[in-house]
Amino acid sequence: MDETVSIVLFSGTDDKLAAAAVLAAGGAALGRPVRIFLQYWGLNAFRADRIMSDHGLVPEAGAAGRAAVDAAAKAGQAHWADTLRMAKELGDVDIQACSASMVLLKLKQSDLDPMVDGVEGVAAFYSNAGDGQIIFI
């Protein structure tokens, strides 16, 4: 068994980013290697100049969902970016930007939050995933 948990993080809303962060932090807390591959709007959310901005929620959240998320933030729930930073400190969490999405969004690695460890292609992603679980979010 390859214990690595790989997350393809395509989505860019704060609720899906939080779900990804919780799955990553949970895997890391269990001592499992975690690999995150940032594509499209998931990558866009890691731009250094707006990582802490409001990235919205999926449409079905609605007004009640928005209120619940805002209340949790006010009550001190960690932001997904901080959850990921903590997971990287405590465990083996590697975050890579998808090279094709970098071109699409005209980004350089210096545009991204420092918690992004590098840029790689889909072949490297598969190679690092081995035969471990792949979770597309």
Structural tokens at position 85: 């930073």
Among 52, 109, 114, 126, binds its own copies (CB under 8 A): 126
What is the rounded CA–CA span in Å between residue 134 and residue 81? 21
Which residues have CB under 8 Å from 94's CB, separation 6+? Answer: 33, 34, 35, 36, 117, 128
Taking the CA atoms of 120, 121, 127 and 129 in sequence, report the sign of the dihedral they define. Answer: positive
Among 48, 52, 72, 90, binds its own copies (CB under 8 A): 72
65 touches its own copies by CB under 8 A? yes
60 touches its own copies by CB under 8 A? yes
Compute the least distance from the CB of residue 29 to its own copies, in Å: 7
What is the rounded CA–CA span in Å between residue 62 and residue 81? 23
Structural tokens at position 123: 């072949």
Compute the least distance from the CB of residue 111 to its own copies, in Å: 13
Binding residues vs its own copies (CB under 8 A): 1-3, 8, 10-13, 15-16, 19, 22-23, 25-27, 29-30, 32, 39-41, 44, 55-56, 58-61, 65, 68-69, 72, 77, 100, 103-106, 121-123, 125-127, 129, 131-137
